[in-house]
């Protein structure tokens, strides 16, 4: 569905460091301060922080969007971000939180996406999720949300281990993508991934299939972030770091291999009430169902 990385420029990180340092406080939010954890991929005038540096804002206008990405890669873990999305008329605007094995668009990349598709004023956002393995995606699901994601911060997170990938909205698992047992599987597990977030213009497809265009008179469009957290295995060469599971890693222990009974109940409620699109039921696109669709729990 097109790349969502903002145009990179070679000097923004320096500018960012200078400006945060020259600003006020250099406080780490938990153990993940912006400057220690991320690299910025836009000019510094499209990125702002709150005075205490705990909240980060990305700006999109007609000239450019903005994004940031972790300095390190991770293989398996739990990754969460609190986000507040562009309010008002956000048609055409996409805010993304995603993992990808590559900083560009390498043709063989693995990628796991959460994308928020903006809408005309007062109309509901849609959250789109997708999974790529070896550069092949086409695993979209779309859900509506049970709250207004522009009114307040909510936590969006990924749980990733060898058994499944779970997309959470606050504590609710909105999607579970399972790894099959051997054989033909479509599950990204080999490549360590960076975490990214970005805001970009996607009015060629995002809102009502591209019918609704971005209203630039409303710009800049601003998405806000705080409290990034990762309980994960940070990748270090050489391979095979992050392969053996150890008992310290809750995200790779037995209880994290499947949903709890309470989580499964919430997930079933989501399936019944909030699914807007599911590639596994799109027979026009997939006359024969992709293999992982059969791994799902009974509906
Ligand atoms: C925007 O709102 C319209 C009307 O409620 C809805 O059909 C559509 O799915 C919404 N979201 C997107 C991303 O188009």
Rg of the chain over CA atoms, in angstroms? Answer: 19
Say whether 115 is catalytic: yes
Confidence (pTM): 0.88
Round to whole Å and give the CA distance between 136 and 114.
16
Nearest CA to ligand 1 atom 13: 207
What strands lie across the sheet with 38-40, from one edge to the other?
Answer: 38-40, 66-70, 194-201, 93-100, 111-117, 126-132, 141-144, 275-278
Q: Which of 35, 39, 111, 292 is catalytic?
A: 111
Of 81, 64, 90, 80, the C-alpha closest to 12 is 64
C-beta of 95 in contact with ligand 1 (< 6 A): no
What 3-state DSSP class applies to 272?
helix
Ligand 1 centroid from CA 88, angstroms: 14
pLDDT score of 295 more than 70 = yes
111 given a catalytic annotation: yes
Phi (first) and psi of residue 39, to 5 degrees: -115, 140
Q: Mean per-residue pLDDT for 291-297?
A: 86
Q: Distance between terminal CA atoms of the chain?
A: 28
**Separation of alpha carbons 177 and 292, rounded Å:** 8
Dihedral sign (CA 168, 174, 178, 184): negative
- What dihedral do alpha carbons 266, 86, 279, 197 form, nearest 10°? -90
Distance between CA atoms of residues 281 and 93, nearest Å: 27
**Alpha carbon of 293 to ligand 1 centroid (Å):** 26
Q: Can you give 200-269 as a three-state secondary structure string?
A: EECCCCCCHHHCCCCCHHHCCEEEEEEEEEEEEEECCCCCCCCCCCCCCCHHHCHHHCCCCHHHHHHHHH
For ligand 1, atom 5, name the residue with the nearest CA.
123
Three-state DSSP at 295 gives helix
Pocket test for ligand 1, best of 117, 124, 206, 215 (most atoms within 8 A of CB): 124
What is the distance in A from the centroid of ligand 1 to the CA of 247? Answer: 44
Query: So what's the pLDDT on residue 284?
Result: 96
Pairwise pLDDT comparison (72 vs 245), residue with the higher score = 72
pLDDT, one tens digit per residue, over 20-31 is 332 222 233 346
Which residues make beta-bridge pairs with 167? 158, 175
For 188-232, write each residue's pLDDT tens digit: 998 999 999 999 999 999 999 999 999 999 999 999 999 999 998
**Between the CA of residue 273 and those of 142, 174, 189, what are the distances in Å?**
12, 11, 30
pLDDT of residue 296: 84
Please give the Cα distance from 180 to 184 (Å, whole number).
8
Q: Hey, what domains does the chain have and what are their CATH numbers? A: 2-298 (2.60.120.200)
């Amino acid at each position: 569905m097109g790349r969502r990385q903002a145009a990179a420029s070679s000097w923004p990180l320096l500018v960012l460091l200078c400006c945060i340092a020259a600003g006020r406080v250099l406080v780490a939010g938990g153990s993940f301060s912006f400057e220690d954890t991320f690299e910025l991929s836009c000019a510094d005038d499209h990125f702002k922080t709150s005075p205490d540096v705990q909240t980060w804002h990305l700006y999109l206008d007609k000239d450019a969007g903005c994004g940031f990405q972790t300095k390190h890669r991770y293989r398996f873990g739990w990754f969460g971000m609190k986000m507040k999305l562009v309010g008002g008329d956000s048609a055409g605007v996409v805010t993304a939180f995603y993992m990808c094995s590559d900083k560009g668009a390498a043709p063989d990349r693995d990628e796991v996406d959460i994308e928020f598709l903006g809408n005309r004023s007062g109309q509901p956002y849609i959250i789109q999720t997708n999974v790529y393995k070896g550069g092949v995606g086409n695993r979209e699901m779309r859900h509506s949300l049970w709250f207004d994601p522009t009114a307040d911060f909510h936590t969006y997170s990924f749980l990733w281990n060898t058994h499944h990938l779970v997309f959470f909205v606050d504590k609710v698992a909105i999607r579970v993508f399972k790894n099959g047992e051997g054989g033909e599987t479509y599950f990204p597990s080999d490549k360590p991934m960076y975490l990214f977030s970005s805001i970009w213009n996607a009015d060629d497809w995002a809102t009502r299939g591209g019918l609704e265009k971005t209203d630039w008179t409303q710009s800049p469009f601003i998405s806000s972030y705080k409290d990034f957290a990762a309980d994960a295995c940070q990748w270090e060469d050489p391979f095979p770091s992050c392969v053996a599971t150890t008992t310290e890693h809750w995200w790779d222990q037995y209880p994290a291999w499947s949903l709890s009974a309470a989580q499964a109940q919430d997930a079933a409620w989501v399936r019944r009430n909030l699914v807007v699109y599911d590639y596994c039921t799109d027979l026009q696109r997939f006359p024969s169902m992709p293999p992982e669709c059969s791994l799902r729990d009974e509906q």
